[in-house]
Structure 1
Amino acid sequence: MARTSGPETREKLIRAAEELFAARGVDGAQLRDVVALAGQANPSAVQYHFGSRAGLLDAVMAGRQARTRQVLAPLLDAAGDDLKELVAALVTAEASELRTDRGRRCLRISAQLSHESGIRTRTPHPTLDGTVYWHLIERMADRLAASGLPEPLLLERLDLALTVVGAALADRARQYLDGAEPLTGEALFLADLVETTTALLRAAQPRSV
């Protein structure tokens, strides 16, 4: 087997993790299978390069965030304060991962981690802290606060909306990976996702119960 450098081995492990985490689940995939798929002989390769399963997962998500950041940053700069514009920026950036099998796998992984973002406590996960994605979340939260939505309901609703977006895109990604025929064309699917997510966020505040 040809020798590879540290960065090359790390990249092989990340690619293998993307494939197995997407197919078997973040908790279901075995690290030994990741190591084997990456073509590594050392069974402790993940621990050596990433420290733990969590470290490997963070590396997978860091790569995914780097790709979507390139799309999201200019969209966010151009977006106004309208909530629908912010939702459209989010959906467009996230949907850019549908273009490749790698991105599709990462969408399936992200959907499993939606409640680990830190939205409910306004404390971002370390991989999101200071990112353009978190800045977008803060801007969306500001718009909801301006509408008079109480903080606890605001945070729950925002977390739910982002979970819906993640789940919808992950399911679309699954269909593409499986070669299934979606019910709607992609343009209509994304436009409807923007509309329904915006409607969820703008829903009237329930009466006190």
Structure 2
Amino acid sequence: MVADVGRTPRAEQVGATRQQILTTAERLFAEQGLYAVSNRQISAAAGQGNNTAVGYHFGTKADLVRAIMRRHTTRIESLRQEAVAAVAGSEDVRDWVACLVRPVTAYLASSGGPTWFARFSAQVMTDPAFRSITAEEALAEAALREVVDRLIGLGPDVPADVREDRAAMVRHLIVHVCAERERALAEGAATPRSTWDEAATGLIDAITGLWTAPCTTEPEHRW
């Protein structure tokens, strides 16, 4: 085939090995946590006879985590670009919140099942040593930066610390709601919403309310 011209069997083997390691590491990290899983365990579960295969192909655990993130964020960014183009010029906060949520849920829905990316993302977010990787990879994408800028511009006039606090809440809502739904689907358990699209609608409603809520001034303590 034309697509195979210049691609050696060795290169194909290396590529297949890397993909197998990424898939295995993502599943193990999602199910057990980042610190509970060693490179040796990943290599063995990925069918690699060499226990140093993970380090050879990816370097440090942080490099491996970043590679897993990039494996998914490229496609999510493509979906977000389409979403942003569809609402260009909108002054409706809900439209821009949808640009945050629906690319993620649409990607998970299109990936079939079972998936581990949402649970993997939740594990990364709750780990201080790796949390910054998620933010770095996400904010490297132009479409996401545009969405964030638009939400800041359309949001209520609140102090910067309140805005940062709410932004953190939004991130946790998206990641952990998706992770809980993904876990329920993998276990065959009931879910509050029957589809990923309906789950996205619920998230968008909640986040829009959170983002546009008035800011309550803390009363002075009286003793």
TM-score (normalised: structure 2) = 0.81
Structure-1 residue corresponding to 2:56: 48
Give the RMSD, CA atoms, in angstroms.
2.4
Structure-2 residue corresponding to 1:97: 107
Structure-1 residue corresponding to 2:4: none
Matched, 1:7 2:15: yes
Change (3 A) 1:17 1:188: same
1:117-165 Cα shifts (integer Å, max 9, x gaps): 589xxxx52x234302333223323333xx2111111011111112111
Structure-2 residue corresponding to 1:114: 125
Q: Does the residue aligned with 1:174 lie in a helix, a strand or coil?
A: helix
Alignment of 1:116-131 (within 5 A): 116-117=131-132, 124-125=135-136, 127-131=137-141
One-letter identity of the residue aligned with 1:199? G
Structure-2 residue corresponding to 1:194: 204
Q: Does the residue aligned with 2:80 lie in a helix, a strand or coil?
A: helix
Q: Distance in 2 between matches of 1:59 and 1:118?
A: 10
1:181-205 Cα shifts (integer Å, max 9, x gaps): 2133224432121101110111110
Q: Which residue, 82, 100, 105 being the options, matches 2:92? A: 82
Q: Distance in 1 between matches of 2:121 and 2:177?
A: 11
Structure-1 residue corresponding to 2:177: 168
**8 Å contact kept, 1:104–1:170:** no
Structure-2 residue corresponding to 1:64: 72
Structure-2 residue corresponding to 1:136: 147
Unaligned runs of 5+ in 2: 1-8
Matched, 1:203 2:222: no
One-letter identity of the residue aligned with 1:110? S
Change (3 A) 1:118 1:6: closer
Q: Does the residue aligned with 1:128 lie in a helix, a strand or coil?
A: helix
Unaligned runs of 5+ in 1: none
Give the greater-gyration-radius structure (CA).
2
One-letter identity of the residue aligned with 2:22? I
Change (3 A) 1:139 1:158: same
Q: Does the residue aligned with 1:91 lie in a helix, a strand or coil?
A: helix
Q: Please say which of residues 148-157 and 187-196 is displaced more in the overlay.
A: 187-196
Q: Please say which of residues 132-141 and 64-73 is displaced more in the overlay.
A: 132-141
Change (3 A) 1:118 1:143: farther
Count, aligned residues: 201
**8 Å contact kept, 2:181–2:191:** yes
Identity across the alignment (%): 25
Q: Please say which of residues 193-202 and 179-188 is displaced more in the overlay.
A: 179-188
Q: Which residue, 29, 39, 42 being the options, matches 2:47? A: 39
Structure-2 residue corresponding to 1:154: 163
